[in-house]
Amino acid sequence: MTSADAAPPAPDAPGAPGYPRFGEAVLYWLKLGFISFGGPAGQIALMHAELVERRRWISEGRFLHALNYCMVLPGPEAQQLATYIGWLMHRTAGGVVAGVLFVLPSLAILVALSWVYLAYGHLPAVAGVFHGIKPAVTVLVVHAAWRLGSRTLRNRWLWGIAAAAFCALFLFGLPFPLIVVAAGVLGMAGGRWRPRAFHAASTHGGHAAHGGAPALIDDGTPVPEHARFTWARLRRVLAVCLGLWAAAMGALVLAFGHEAVLTHMAWFFTKAALLTFGGAYAVLPYVYQGAVEHYQWLTPVQMIDGLALGETTPGPLIMVVSFVGFVGGWTKAIFGPDALFLGGAAAAVVVTFFTFLPSFCFILLGAPFVESTHGNLRFTAPLMGITAAVVGVIVNLAVFFAYHVLWPEGLGGRFDAVAALIGVAAAVALFRFRLGVITVVLACGLAGLAHRLLLG
């Protein structure tokens, strides 16, 4: 963001690939935005295969180091990793373009699918597909809790935090932000009194992934000028980020008022973006509390359907908030009953902007600082506590989804045996055969469609 940012880092060893032009990088980030299926793990694997192994734009060690930065920040880590690498290679413009193109295709696709869902979702065929997808989504949430828990719950202290977080939500209905703060405090205390239990393991490696050949940004490549921490740059970036947020919020207030749906959405999803430690599944309970229970922008069933759409489209799973925005803008008819699509699309864009703006700010503002504090137990221990709590939060979300899917009319109503069978099949496919998310969701959707056609 200064004249010092003008020169990109040079390859530090003979044999390193030539520095990619900005346009070449733009084309890659655009391509990634359309093929980034499979959740954060799949998206990170795609970037690793292309950027580390094939193009050798960045070494294995630097790639993992950047990933570590993104893992300790709230927000979608895959999108932040793309932003980080784009920023490291082509300064602020590179980071902004990489992050925007990671999200933009998903936004366009979700707006189209949301319109189909609201306009034609009552048709038997469409309803049958969603009937099959709902139990698959429930199993996906369970699978997400298992994956995260198997990596992070390494001792009884972390298991205890996860169990306490589950009970706080399931039994007492405590607000999600309070649980995050409490888990951070417990992690801070644990880092002081049980440092071994709250110490994050290192995952660094060399550049063996591409046969020992040097990468453009290799392990020994000096940090470029624009990536070094200075207080002057921090103040400048912070002013720009806060200015963008204030300008967008101010425009909504001036145009529609303090109590308008779009204004409420902007403020609510700004708060949600600051709480996405542990990925989209972790923040969904908070989104549910606000969007479904408080503001009533959509119903519980629509929330589950939106998660299903988010699972089957490219981009980060947190893009489900765009569906929430579209449904809210449509059902509240923010631009009148004759402009339902326009209202939904405008709400989806507003929600997406305020959800992802903090992610860009965290990278441009915090990456140099996080690098300087990486491995410091005072900073990593609270995050370990929060990550452990996230496991319990995700389990609570799975219980909530299972309740609405298996007993659609409430516990006193009928038990949906077909949904239960589809859910069991999805669990076997995911846990036993390790099939991909897209394959499982599409197969379950076809099973629901076949059942609906046979009935009727």
pLDDT grade, residue 366 (50/70/90)? Answer: confident
Contact assessment for residue 441 and residue 422, using Cβ atoms and an 8 Å cutoff: no
Give the pLDDT score at 7.
42
Tell me the angle at which helices 77-120 and 39-47 cross, rounded to the nearest 10 degrees.
130
Give the burial class of 172: count Cβ atoms within 10 A of its Cβ; 0-12 exposed, 13-18 middle, 19 or more buried: exposed
Given a cut of 90, whether residue 235 has pLDDT beyond it is yes
Joined together, the tokens standing for residue 341 give 């699509």
pLDDT grade, residue 100 (50/70/90)? Answer: very high
- Alpha-carbon distance of 12 to 373, in angstroms, equals 25
Give the pLDDT score at 351.
97
The helix or strand, by DSSP H or E, that contains position 447, with its residue range, turns out to be: helix 437-455
Cα distances from 87 to residues 92, 331, 426, in angstroms, run 5, 39, 39
- Alpha-carbon distance of 386 to 186, in angstroms, equals 9
Tell me the angle at which helices 77-120 and 124-152 cross, rounded to the nearest 10 degrees.
160
Given a cut of 60, whether residue 304 has pLDDT beyond it is yes
- Alpha-carbon distance of 36 to 310, in angstroms, equals 12
Could you tell me the residue ranges of all domains in the chain?
19-455
Give the pLDDT score at 372.
60
Of residues 64 and 32, which shows the higher confidence score?
32
Contact assessment for residue 135 and residue 112, using Cβ atoms and an 8 Å cutoff: no
Given a cut of 50, whether residue 346 has pLDDT beyond it is yes
Cα distances from 136 to residues 36, 237, 274, 281, in angstroms, run 20, 42, 28, 15
CA neighbor of 315 nearest in space, from 435, 441, 438 = 438
**Mean pLDDT confidence for 158-169:** 94
Q: Which residue bears the tokens 């290679």?
A: 89
The pTM of this model reads 0.73
Residue 185: phi and psi, rounded to 5, are: -65, -45
Given a cut of 80, whether residue 378 has pLDDT beyond it is no
Percentage of residues of the chain with pLDDT beyond 90: 42
Percentage of residues of the chain with pLDDT beyond 70: 88
Question: Buried b / exposed e across 213-238, counting CB within 10 Å, b at 16+?
Answer: ebbbbbbebeebbbbeeeeebeeebe
Give the pLDDT score at 190.
92
